[in-house]
Chains A and B, each alone.
Chain A
């Protein structure tokens, strides 16, 4: 089976350890990071990660919940969405 991409978005106030903690959670779930980009605009930190969840050790819904909880601990909003929605909206 080929890659199954998903997009993780992290939005909130910047602080130490956001990338570290998100990456750690992903590694624990055997999820490979394919691409990361981030910007900081007026103190608002936005990070977008493209990941491959094909070999994820957890169900998508559990992963989503774990990321959401992690976001709450870090004071940021974290969401994961399958990439098809972006493909549908932005590619002919």
Chain B
């Protein structure tokens, strides 16, 4: 038996092997078809394919100290040291590969963990230090002014949360997030009640800019520890010293691919087209992420393949859903269309990269998506429909402006509903809502840039006050009998 394995190959067999080698080599070294090159160029130039963010996660666990000044100093030194070349490397990659890298950002260990011993009034010193470090290295946002309070508060957590309105109104680049629920712990309803007040106060303190402070504040259920997208990014406690996470985007590319399908294409074909497109987008992101990590001498964390819309025309999730045959985003059928989109994006992505993480899916921020804004204006899309949509997409109620006089209990109740969806369905959900000071339903808020503008949406006016003021925790759900 053994002998036959080493049997000398016949001339014909040798020729076949040789031909096989040549063919294989040829395939590997093959140039590209004109159409392939043209497709990539078209995706970037006219369909707005981009790397939405390269986010460097930096652990600040070694930056604790006795006083706020010491902590602030350590934090500043560490961030400016680790992220010194972040922007430079990102710009190099952008030039070499011809793919725009829109944002360069930093996420850090939740500050409540680093500065648990600090008094409320001193937290601003730490936030200012984060802001200064971000400005110094040239990133536009730094995330991680955060607390994880799904089970309960430490004194430091409470101090940090109570300092959020001041911090978000006095800093430019700091982003904040608070995790108030998980599937394993349930919902901390004391935190939910508190966050309603904090969001309202934050919006009020930035009233000259339509409450933009609240656009930098996210309330989470099951917050991911490696999310590169703002405002919810933080560097989780299970993460390493320093890591590069990349967020890719491309609603425009998906929309363009779907619009080439005939109107009669069935859902199998739609799913297949989204998967293929998502694969290509993800591969571009993975290449950039790996090279960025290599050049920055750190490790590659995850690729977040979220379809993140921008206010530009054609770069819209709503338009993708409409291209499947809905006359307006928000009509009945929207949740099913979004479920298909979200799932197909993930399926294409996981084939393209072994380390997919973060939020991964489709974002449905209202103010950042021209199609969503149009749907709200047309009366097709309501807050209740958006809530239903969050059951099947990657995040939650995102960048939604509501009347400034909405009671805090109502904001808390909106959060509670969203947290319940995340907790029961074992997924991440979030609320980033802006009670725009002085604005009424039908008015507009203007944040500018990527944050866009939004119509102020109608909120259910029946009060949940007594429900919110009960306090305590909603227990963790059962993990069997899943119906």
Contacts and interface: CB of A to CB of B under 8 A. Distances in A.
Interface of A: 7, 9, 11, 34-35, 37, 39, 46, 48, 50, 60-61, 64, 79-86, 88-90
B38 A48 contact: yes
A11 B99 CA distance: 17
Contacts of A35: 31
A63 to B, nearest CB: 10
A88 B283 contact: yes
A50 B287 contact: no
Contacts of A37: 34
4 interchain residue pairs of minimum CB distance: A81-B98, A88-B287, A88-B283, A85-B97
Given A7-B37, A9-B41, A89-B40, A84 B31 contact: no
B283 A39 contact: no
Contacts of A81: 96-98
Contacts of A90: 32, 36, 39-40, 280
A85 B40 CA distance: 9
Nearest to B351: A92
B347 to A, nearest CB: 16
A90 B35 CA distance: 10
Contacts of A7: 32, 37
A79 to B, nearest CB: 5
- Contact residues of A: prevailing secondary structure: strand
A34 B29 CA distance: 13
Given A35-B31, A48-B34, A50-B31, A89 B98 contact: no
- State the main secondary structure of chain B at its contact with A: helix
A61 B284 CA distance: 20
Contacts of B280: 89-90
Chain B, interface size category, equals 20 to 34
Nearest to A3: B29
A48 B37 contact: yes
B97 A82 contact: yes
Contacts of B297: none
Contact of B40 (A11, A46, A61, A86): A86
B95 A85 contact: no
Interface in B54-97: 92, 95-97
Nearest to B32: A86
B286 interface: yes
A46 to B, nearest CB: 7
Contacts of B40: 85-86, 89-90
B99 A85 contact: yes
A66 to B, nearest CB: 13
Contacts of B95: 60-61, 64
Nearest to B285: A88
Nearest to A34: B31
Given A34-B31, A79-B98, A86 B286 contact: no
Given A9-B41, A61-B92, A81-B98, 12 more contacts: A7-B32, A48-B38, A60-B96, A79-B41, A79-B98, A81-B96, A82-B96, A85-B99, A85-B287, A86-B37, A89-B40, A89-B284
A19 to B, nearest CB: 16
A85 B286 CA distance: 10
12 contacts: A7-B37, A9-B37, A9-B41, A11-B41, A48-B38, A61-B92, A82-B96, A85-B287, A86-B40, A88-B286, A88-B287, A89-B36
A86 B34 contact: no
Contacts of B283: 88-89
A85 B37 CA distance: 10
Contacts of B92: 61
Interface in B8-58: 31-32, 34, 36-41, 45
Interface string B340-378: 000000000000000000000000000000000000000
Which of B45, B98, B280 gathers the greatest number of chain A CB atoms within 10 Å?
B98
A61 B94 CA distance: 10
Contacts of A34: 31
B96 A39 contact: no
Contacts of B37: 7, 9, 48, 86
Nearest to A5: B31
Contacts of A61: 92, 95
Contacts of A88: 283-284, 286-287
Nearest to A61: B95
Contacts of B34: 37, 39, 48
Contacts of A9: 37, 41
Contacts of B96: 60, 81-82
The winner among B31, B37, B41, B95 for most chain A CB atoms within 10 A is: B37
Contacts of B39: 90
